[in-house]
Amino acid sequence: MNDTNETVLRIRGLEKTFDTGADRLTIIKDLDLTAPEGAQVAIVGESGSGKSTLLNIIAGLDTPTRGEILVGGRDITSLPEDGLARFRSKFLGLIFQFHYLLQDFSALENVYLPAFMAGEGRKSALERAKTCLEAVGMGHRMNHMPSELSGGERQRVSVARSLINDPRLILADEPTGNLDPANAAMIGELLFSLAGSYKKTLLLVTHDMELAGRAHIRYRLKEGKLQEEPLR
């Protein structure tokens, strides 16, 4: 499982320093991480330990100070802006704590738009969006606007949206952070079971140890590095 083709994510010697004028804050120090195809990886860590910073760097939304980030065998740190946008659209599914659904578009349109923007025809993109919404149990609410959905339902739509372009890697930053315990458990179950059945590689960062407990492997981000975190 560790030849380059099957290694979805390989990070070597990652460093991230923020220069804030008064301060130089090194948040990530010489960090390594490898995730083979189909792995489900959870990263836990205290608030401010750098979890979102790490995920944003992997998504190409932030740049590292130093280090190599290979996603699907390609070093994303050397991609130009348009190449990065294409990489995100084709390779990544992103889920955040806040759903970021477009308020003026229905659930179906929110899920269909990333496929349409990636160049797929309207009819087939709509068909696939319906299939993704059915997979998250939202087939009956497809024509509702985000404001007409509950927090848990909106996050289910976000999960459907993250799957629409058939990504190899799903990155989730506190996907249950805004939800009550029952909805958090439901989204956790959905995310891991869909990642399993569609054989997606899943990397999530969370405070929620129950959610992290569902992953194949857990790490704790502490003092800029990852250490394996046993199940308690």
Ligand X SMILES: Nc1ncnc2c1ncn2[C@@H]1O[C@H](COP(=O)(O)OP(=O)(O)OP(=O)(O)O)[C@@H](O)[C@H]1O
DSSP letter for 1, please.
-
Which tokens hold the place of 209? 């140890």
Instruction: State which residue, 38 or 151, has the beta carbon closest to ligand X.
Output: 151
Q: Does residue number 165 form part of the binding site for ligand X (CB under 6 A)?
A: no
**CB burial of residue 225 (10 Å; 0-12, 13-18, 19+):** middle
Compute how many residues bind ligand X; rule: CB under 6 A.
12
Q: How many distinct helices (H) and strands (E) make up the chain?
A: 7, 10
Instruction: State which residue, 16 or 161, has the beta carbon closest to ligand X.
Output: 16
Q: Report in angstroms the alpha-carbon separations of 196 from 72, 213, 230.
A: 19, 15, 21
Q: How far apart are CA 88 and CA 132, in angstroms?
A: 19
Residue 132: which of Mg ion, ligand X, none does it interact with, CB under 5 to 8 A by kind? none
Query: Cβ 142 to Mg ion, closest distance in Å?
Result: 30
Edge-to-edge strand list for the sheet holding 66-71 = 24-36, 7-19, 66-71, 74-75
The window from 17-25, 68-76, 178-186, 188-196 that contacts ligand X (CB under 6 A) reads: 17-25
Q: How far apart are CA 140 and CA 5, in angstroms?
A: 39
The window from 43-51, 71-79, 142-150, 212-220 that contacts ligand X (CB under 6 A) reads: 43-51
Minimal CA–CA distance to 54: which of 72, 44, 36? Answer: 44
Query: Cβ 43 to Mg ion, closest distance in Å?
Result: 10
The window from 18-26, 69-77, 120-128, 191-199 that contacts ligand X (CB under 6 A) reads: 18-26
Query: Cβ 172 to ligand X, closest distance in Å?
Result: 12
Which tokens hold the place of 125? 């993109």
Residue 158: which of ligand X, Mg ion, none does it interact with, CB under 5 to 8 A by kind? none
Between residue 44 and residue 83, which ones bind ligand X under the rule CB under 6 A? 45, 47-53
Which tokens hold the place of 97? 């704590």
Q: Does residue number 25 form part of the binding site for ligand X (CB under 6 A)?
A: yes
Interface residues with Mg ion (CB under 5 A) are 52
Query: Cβ 97 to ligand X, closest distance in Å?
Result: 8
Residue 48: which of ligand X, Mg ion, none does it interact with, CB under 5 to 8 A by kind? ligand X
For the window 86-115, what string marks contact with ligand X as x by the rule CB under 6 A? Answer: ------------------------------
**Is the backbone of residue 212 left (phi > 0), alpha (psi -120 to 50) or beta?**
alpha
DSSP letter for 60, please.
T
Minimal CA–CA distance to 136: which of 114, 118, 158, 113? Answer: 158
Query: Cβ 209 to ligand X, closest distance in Å?
Result: 13
Q: Which residues bind ligand X (CB under 6 A)?
A: 18, 20, 25, 27, 45, 47-53
